[in-house]
Amino acid sequence: MRYGVVAEKLGHSFSPEIHAMIGDYDYELCELSRADFTRFMEKRDFLGINVTIPYKQAVIPFLDRIDDTARAIGAVNTIVNRNGQLTGYNTDLDGLTRLIRRIGLDLRGKKVLIPGTGGTSRTASYAAEKLSAREVFRISRTGREGSLSYEEALRDHADAEIILNTTPCGMFPRPAEQPLSLESFTRLEGVADAIYNPLRSRLVLDARSRGIPAEGGLYMLVAQAVRASELFLNMSYPDDLTDQIYDRILRRKENLVLIGMPGSGKSAVGKILTETTGKPLADTDQLIVEKAGKSIPEIFREDGEPAFRDLESEIIRELSLQGGQVISTGGGAVLRPENVTLLRQNGRLFWLDRAPDSLVPTDDRPLADTAAKMKQLYQEREPVYRASADMIIPVFGTPEDTASLILQQ
Ligand code: S3P
């Protein structure tokens, strides 16, 4: 291996894709057990690597040199091999600092809480101190290394202004978890979360629902990779490279989720979006029919609407674990708030808002098989669609017109 990333588990890493966008070199994933990690580091058969969980501290004894910042942090995520001599750096610090700046957070004089006690938590503490935070506390379940327990944090530090999450709590494949609820934090000004898969953790969505600026870790991931690549290749890139790559990778990873009334054109628009973006199409109604082995009118007739909704939630839970798809939902998919949260974690929700008069009832739609039912349904649901949507797309032309409105966003 010349360049790559080393960790114990790497199932969902975005790093090879990011490095492929940065430059013309191969960047590999390398999963190593602890014993293999020792052998790998002793052999030094690489030019530049990133290391991640759980080796950011364990790697230090194998290095010949360690840059001052990485030493002060006590964690290394980038190693460059120069003529057999290994030097360790911490580019997570550049990544996190840029993420904090991007969210627009000002840490000066603030109380900062950092869930987590691993390598990234050390980087976050260092960043917070460098940015002149007033007080910085790490939080863990065990209270180790002088950290607070979650109970103490909630009891004594509910006046914290900034939260920087460095735990894997809420990461794929358990996106519904959250390290702490934000309810008690009445003075909260911002949240940065190192988790990038899902793109928006529960913590991030919880903050945003309270009007608090918050972002996940994708931007941090891209920024640390750009800085690592500069060190690998001993060159520097234009300052906006991180933003450019972030936009590209976000567009690639995000799901385009179509919501709206029966007959508003979700399926037709979904097909066009799939053809133009190359993202695969998932149609929740179709998946429900496959799973149930019968048609939607049959499910409603034989099992009832609640059974249909349970199947729908199950399909949405499965689909929203993955990014990079076009998801066309059934008209009632957003009625359960949990479905909306799941869809938002990796997706952007577009409401195809078509005027109720032009929605055509059909026999295969048990809740919308007459014009009267359709009208009634629109009235009930209009506020739900509005509240769920990231973007409202007025539907007046052909499905092609609607699809191109979405792609312009
Ligand atoms: C429903 C809409 C349908 C289908 C089911 C229930 C609804 O999907 O999921 O009949 O509650 O609005 P379409 O919106 O694709 O017709």
**Active-site pick, 9, 56, 111, 279:** 56
Q: Closest ligand 1 atom, CA of 297?
A: 10
* Cα–Cα distance measured from residue 200 to residue 206, given in angstroms and rounded to the nearest whole number: 10
Q: Closest ligand 1 atom, CA of 288?
A: 9
Q: Is 262 in the pocket of ligand 1 (CB under 6 A)?
A: yes
Which pLDDT belongs to residue 212? Answer: 98
pLDDT digits (tens, 9 = 90+) for 17-45: 999 999 999 999 999 999 999 999 999 99
Q: What number is the average pLDDT over the span 175-195?
A: 97
In DSSP notation, 167-216 reads S-TT-TT-TT--SS-STT-TT--EEEE---SSSS-HHHHHHHHTT--EE-
* Cα–Cα distance measured from residue 272 to residue 328, given in angstroms and rounded to the nearest whole number: 11
Q: What is the pTM of this model?
A: 0.94
Which pLDDT belongs to residue 158? Answer: 98
Which pLDDT belongs to residue 119? Answer: 86
* Cα–Cα distance measured from residue 132 to residue 387, given in angstroms and rounded to the nearest whole number: 38
Percent residues over pLDDT 70 in the chain: 100
The more confidently predicted of residues 328 and 365 is 328
* Cα–Cα distance measured from residue 89 to residue 86, given in angstroms and rounded to the nearest whole number: 10
CA angle (385 as vertex; 384, 387 as ends), nearest 5: 65
Q: Is 107 in the pocket of ligand 1 (CB under 6 A)?
A: no
Q: At what angle do helices 241-253 and 15-22 cross, to 10 degrees?
A: 140
404 pLDDT tier (thresholds 50, 70, 90): very high
DSSP state of 134: S
pLDDT digits (tens, 9 = 90+) for 121-163: 999 999 999 999 999 999 999 877 789 999 999 999 999 999 9
Q: Could you tell which of 365, 380, 382 is best to mutate to test the pocket of ligand 1, judged by most ligand atoms within 8 Å of the CB?
A: 365
Q: Closest ligand 1 atom, CA of 305?
A: 6
pLDDT digits (tens, 9 = 90+) for 242-288: 999 999 999 999 999 999 999 999 999 999 999 999 999 999 999 99
Q: What number is the average pLDDT over the span 65-78?
A: 97
Residue with tokens 């179509």: 258
Task: Please say if the pLDDT value at position 10 is more than 90.
Answer: no
Q: Could you tell which of 367, 378, 381 is best to mutate to test the pocket of ligand 1, judged by most ligand atoms within 8 Å of the CB?
A: 367
Known catalytic membership, residue 56: yes
